Every structure is written in structure tokens, then in C-alpha cells.
Amino acid sequence: MNGAQDLGGMMGFGPVVPEPEGELFHAGWERRALAVTLAAGALGKWNIDTSRHARETLPPADYLSSSYYEIWIKGLEKLLVQGGLVSLEEIRAGRALAPGLPVRPLAAEQVAPVLARGTQYDRPAQAPARFAVGDAVRTRNVHPATHTRLPRYARGKAGVVDRVHGVFVFPDSHAHGQGEAPQWLYTIRFRADELWGEGADPALTVSIDAWESYLVGL
């Protein structure tokens, strides 16, 4: 969706200020925000794409005025309510107002192995790839109200296939409980002037990963 999270190429938001490599948290509560989000996600009530959509559907003014981990906590609150794990009244009260649902949380000693194992999102191919390295393609100019991994600045733009990754779960359907719908995934390389116009650095290129349904051949 075209939400406040999709700011690539937009002006008026000031420069990007990089933080020191390895500086993960600015306050102790941010560590807890990450821990609670991971622990809740391990309950299996939603997937990573659902959680991304919960954050990107925060009201724009709320999203843009929140820090990184404030956005995570606000997204988590939405997921907990949608999953029936807490109520809005309990969030406002800051405590349980009714008996909780039975859940099986991760034990502390399970966290590191679970994170190290990760989640596999590659799937067996059911059909040959439509595109090959070197093919000229154009991204579709679509503006869905639902989740998508196609950034707004790269829609309707011509590029070249740089890499064919294989078949992976399609996040646009996965986020909304509509199944995995696996598709071929490609890296597409764009010239800077194709994305940003004639004032762009002619030596610059930008690459994005794009699922097959985002693309049409040229």
C-alpha cells in the first residue's frame, strides 16, 4: 500500500542520517520492544508479512512521528487485538481484564536456536521462470490498498533482470491469509535516470527484488 512507510524518492523529509554500525538500541525499553515482538510472533498467530502490513497501516501522522521501535509496538498492539490475544480496553488499561487465551510462549533458552534457524520461504518451482538474466522488463504501475513489496518509486519503470533467485512465498497474498502463492523472484536493475529523471547521477543504478507478477516483458 502507499503508506507512510514507502518514502523512497520523496522530498521534504530531510537527509538520511546513518547511525553507527552496531548501535541497535537507544534505550532499554527498545530491547524489550524487540523481545516482546519476537515472543508474540513465535505464538504463530500471524506471519512476518502480516506484521509488516500492521505497521504500514498505522495512520501516516502517527507513523512519521514515531520512532522505529514505537512503530513496532504500535503494530504489535494491532496484531494482538486482531489475533484475539488482548482487547483494546486491556491495552488502554495496561493490564489483563479477562482470562487470557492458552498460548505456548518461547522459553528463554529456545530464543537463540529459533532465531538462528530462521524460516524458509523458498519453495519448489511449479513452472519455468518467465524471465532470464539480461531480459528487459517493466514493473507494473499498480497502487494496491493491501500489502506489496514493490516500492512506489519503482512502479512503471523499465529495468533489466540481474539475477533469478528461485521461487519464494508471495508476501502480497501471505500478508492477508490468502495462501503462500509462491512466485519466481528476480533482482531488477534500474538506471537512476529511469527512476529519478534527467537530473539523476548517470553512473548510479538501483536494484530491487521483485516477484514475477510485478513484471511485464519488453
pLDDT one-digit tens code per residue, 128-171 = 999 999 999 999 999 999 999 999 999 999 999 999 999 999 99
Task: Please state which architecture CATH assigns to domain 28-117.
Answer: Orthogonal Bundle (1.10)
Nearest of 98, 104, 101 to residue 85 by alpha carbon: 101
Q: What pLDDT is attached to residue 101?
A: 84
Q: Choose the weakest-confidence range: 51-55, 61-65, 96-100, 119-123.
A: 96-100
Q: Give the cell for residue 182.
A: 509462491
How far apart are alpha carbons 123 and 129 in whole angstroms? Answer: 13
pLDDT of the residue at 25: 94
Give the mean pLDDT of the chain.
94
Residue tagged 534457524 (cell numbers): 117
Q: What is the mean pLDDT of residues 108-114?
A: 87
Q: Where are the domains of the chain?
A: 28-117, 122-217
User: Are the C-beta atoms of residues 4 and 64 closer than 8 Å to each other?
Assistant: yes
Say what percent of the chain tops pLDDT 90.
Answer: 79
Does residue 28 have a pLDDT over 90?
A: yes
> Alpha-carbon distance 168 to 186, whole Å?
10
Assign domain 122-217 to its CATH architecture. Roll (2.30)
**C-alpha cell of residue 143:** 497502487
The answer to whether 182 touches 120, Cβ cutoff 8 Å, is no
Position 115 pLDDT exceeds 90: no
Q: How far apart (Å, rounded) are the C-alpha atoms in residues 171 and 49? A: 6
The pLDDT of 18-45, averaged and rounded, is 92
Which residues are within 8 A (CB) of 145 and not within 5 positions of it... i.e. 6 or more apart?
1
Residue 14: per-residue pLDDT: 86
pLDDT of residue 45: 92
CB 153 within 8 A of CB 9: yes
Cβ neighbours for 78, distance < 8 A, ≥ 6 positions apart? 54, 57, 58
Same fold, 28-117 and 122-217: no
